[in-house]
Structure 1
């Protein structure tokens, strides 16, 4: 069961079509795995369509109406709000649209990072973000780090834990420069994640900072 979802702001931006490509790929991939967020998106799109059709111009009325509707959305069981067609391949590690991006990049090609970890940079037309797959060996941590901007991490297989919580398939973790953490893959299975970053990580270790340019992370 997915416990960590997209926040309202990012989901609203996705519904409005204002997210960059890197963020949008991650959001769409999460939506492929998460019935709750798919249902919420459908409601948000319906709300947006209503405001466009009604041509509401009074900002105060729009704000009041949005807060009222949002409260109803949050208070309801979103899974029952909209009828969602079930996915035909629920166990697929790389759902669409991520699967297509990997195919267009020439297939899954891992680049070793050391200590069993690996990554794959996924090309996009978005120069403001980097989209990558990360593989963390079971039971192993990644170096402790913070961020120089936002980072979205979506678990595709396995699970990991850090100072914030535990994250399994479909879960989202959003991190910024206020968080210093050291994610560790849980024992039993390698953890594969999709990550979107606005800038290179800020590693605590001086050695990691030294080799960071070669790693490209």
Structure 2
């Protein structure tokens, strides 16, 4: 997509290439890369650099015991996993994989806003958000990192405007009120590694129930 204006920051892309991102962020980054030629090219450059570094490392001797163990694991390896799901509608392959190729199970958050939790655990949460046109998400800050990728429609906040394929990176320094564009419902893929910090009482009260 040539109109993408907000891309993956270099440190996050490097962590993704190294395989060190938490799972929930990895899904968002993989989804953006599937939509963005620029970041796909940047990832290829990171992977090529990593390969050249590995080639430059000195060879180390391998014991017969270690070699035998590796060969045994290869002999008993599980067959290849099923092919990655393909894009369906607005949902790219990585999202379809997180959905297990099923439609989102939307649950109301109130005022027309809905969410579908894809993953939730100690490392963070991954969810789809559906925000009606013109509707604002309650004002909030962040206790950790949040990655939000637009899959349909658009939203804007204090930092700018975000359309399909755009990625917003929010941390503890950002307090904002994302508002969906008027043209269509905004559907986003969002990952967080810590609870949000809502300013008003009702969202704080409902926060444990909605796992946000």
TM-score category by the smaller chain? 0.7 to 0.9
Task: Please state if 1:123 is matched with 2:134.
Answer: no
Of 8, 15, 18, the match for 1:16:
18
Q: Which residue of 2 aligns with 1:86?
A: none
| Deviation string, structure 1 residues 67-114 (Cα, Å, up to 9, x no partner) | xxxxxxxxxxxxxxxxxxxxxx8884110111121126x531100000
Residue in 2 that maps onto 1:65 = none
Residue 197 of structure 1 pairs with residue 192 of structure 2? yes
Matches within 5 A, 1:130-145: 130-145=125-140
Paired with 2:29 and 2:49, the residues of 1 have a C-alpha distance of 19
2:205 corresponds to which of 201, 210, 214:
210
Once residues 35 and 158 of structure 1 are traced to their aligned partners in structure 2, the CA distance between those partners, rounded to angstroms, is 20
1:167 equivalent among 141, 162, 171: 162
Count of residue pairs the alignment pairs up: 183
Runs of 4+ in 1 over 4 A off after TM superposition: none
Of 38-47 and 199-208, more deviation after overlay is shown by: 199-208
> What is the alpha-carbon root mean square deviation over aligned residues?
1.7
TM-score (normalizing by structure 1): 0.80
- Once the two structures are superposed, what CA deviation does each residue of 1:158-187 show, in whole Å capped at 9, x if it has no partner? 000000010001100011111110000000
* Equivalent residue in structure 1 for 2:106, among 98, 107, 110: 110
Cα separation, 1, equivalents of 2:165 and 2:187: 11
- Residue 18 of structure 1: how far off its partner (Å): 1.1
In structure 2, stretches of 5+ residues that fail to align are 59-85
Q: Aligned partners of 1:4 and 1:155: how far apart in 2? A: 10
